[in-house]
Structure 1
C-alpha cells in the first residue's frame, strides 16, 4: 500500500546482533488522524526508539472526518501488531458522545499506553483590556461586555469547545463559541478579532512568551511545566474544568496478548530515551505513561465524565 505524503519511514538497521531479540514485525504502520503536526511528531519520536518491536516503523497521517478516518482504519486492521493507532484519548472517550453515528466504540480497541499529555490554556488578547489579568477579571469583563464575550477553539465538538461552554454556564454568562481549524484561533485573538481562545499550550506558548497573548488559566490537574506562573482552572475557582489531552497507542481488539505486551514494553523503553524526553519538551507536552489496565480504567472514567459534560451543555450530537 502506498504511503501518503505525510508519512515518514523510520527504518532500523537490518542487521540484528546475535543475542538480541528479533523484532516482533518487519514493518509496523502507526496511523494518526491529523495533518502533520504534534501527534505525528510525537509518534515519530517514540517510533524511532522501538527497533526491537519492528524492523521499520512508518508514521502515516490519515486526516479526515476529525480524525475518525484513521481510527476506523485501525479498527478493521490485522491483529498481527503491524497496524497501530496513535491518537488523542478524546477520539475514544469524547467522540461517542458527540457523533450520532460512529462506526467504532471504545471496545473496538486495546489501549496499550499513553505517552504524553498536554493541558490547554485560556488566553486573551488586545480586545480585552490590559488590566484583565486573571480568570476572575475576565469573567467579570465578559458579564459586562456580553457582545464581545467570545472564545475560539480548534472546532465544534472538541473538548476545548465544551470547556468554554461549561465556563460560561458555571460563571453565569453567555460565552460565544467561534470554531476554527487548528491553531488559527490564536492569531485572531492576537489581532483582536475575538476576545479569547482555549487551545493546547503548545499552540499558543510562543505568542504568550512574546507578550502577544495573556494566559489566564490552564486546564491541567497541576500547573504546566511550560507555564508555571499561570494558575490552573481549579486554582482560579473552577475545579470541574479540568481537561488534559492524553496521546496514546491503541491496537485493534483481539490482538494477542503477547503482541500487546511487546508493544507496551517498546513504548516504555522508548520513553526513557533522552532523545524522546527532549523532543517531547520541544513539542510542549509532558511525558505521561499510563499503560495496560490503568489506561483502560482511565478511558472508562473519562468516557463517563465527558458524557456528563456534553449532556450538561445541551449539545446535540451531529452526524
Structure 2
C-alpha cells in the first residue's frame, strides 16, 4: 500500500513506485475500524455523521502521520459524507492511540486488530469497519457501506512485488509458491489472528488493483492537500 500512496505523496522519488515493479500477488488486507472516544455522545455511524456535520471543524481525528493510511481513510470518508474535521497527525500510531484513549482527540480509523482489545474493554467505541464485509473480529460492527455510504471501501494491504523486467516464468513460479504458502494452516491461523484477510490474487489481478489504489489515493491526496515536508 505504501507504494500506491507514495506515487503521489512523494513526487520527487528517484524511482516510480508503480512502474518500476512487477506485480506478483496481493497477499492480504486488513480493514480499518472507525472508533471514537466514549465521551463523544454517539452510538452509531449515522449519529456520528450527523454530530460532526452539526459541528464543522470542531472534531479532531488522529492519524499516524500526514499521508498515512489512517489519515487518508478518514479524509476519504469525510469527502464522501460531507463531514469537516480537523486532522491531527502524529509521529506513529502509538502516540495517536494513546491520545485517542485519553480523549485528547475524538476519532480515528486505525487497523482493526490493534483496536479489538480497547473496544471490548469499553475504552473506545467502534462505529463501522472499512471493508466490504464485516470483520470476524468485530462481527457486530457494520461496514461503512452498510451504514449508508455506498462505494466506501478501504484497507491496509500487503502485496509481493519483483523488480521491473523480471522474466514471466519467475513471476509465475513465485506466485505459485506464494499460493502454496498462503494455503498452509499455520499462515491461515496467523493471518486470522492478525485480522488479515488472505487474498492471493494473480499477477494481472494485483496489477489492476495496484493501479486502482494509486488512482484512489492520488485523488484523496489532491483533495486534502496532504504532503510530506
| Alpha-carbon offset, residue 162 of structure 1 | 2.1
Where in structure 1 do 4 or more consecutive aligned residues deviate above 6 Å?
none
| Native 8 Å contact 1:100 1:317 kept in 2 | no
Match of 1:127 in 2: 39
Aligned-partner Cα distance in 2 for 1:227–1:91: 26
Alignment equivalent of 1:175, drawn from 85, 88, 95: 85
Q: Which has the higher strand share?
A: 1
* Matched position secondary structure for 1:199: coil
| Native 8 Å contact 1:119 1:218 kept in 2 | yes
Match of 1:290 in 2: 201
Match of 2:61 in 1: 151
Match of 1:37 in 2: none
With 287-296 and 145-154 compared, the bigger mean Cα shift is at 145-154
Structure 2 portions without partners, runs of 5+:
none
| Native 8 Å contact 1:148 1:195 kept in 2 | no
* Higher-RCO chain (CA-CA 8 Å, sequence separation at least 6): 2
Q: How many residues align?
A: 227
Aligned-partner Cα distance in 2 for 1:193–1:98: 28
Asked if residue 299 in structure 1 is aligned to residue 202 in structure 2, the reply is no
TM-score using structure 1 length = 0.66
**CA distance change for structure 1 residues 316 and 145 in 2, over 3 Å: closer, same or farther?**
closer
Asked if residue 111 in structure 1 is aligned to residue 23 in structure 2, the reply is yes
| Alpha-carbon offset, residue 148 of structure 1 | 4.4
Report 1:63-82 matches (<5 A): none
CA-based RMSD of the aligned residues comes to 1.9
Aligned-partner Cα distance in 2 for 1:212–1:314: 30
| Native 8 Å contact 2:56 2:83 kept in 1 | yes
| Native 8 Å contact 1:113 1:248 kept in 2 | yes
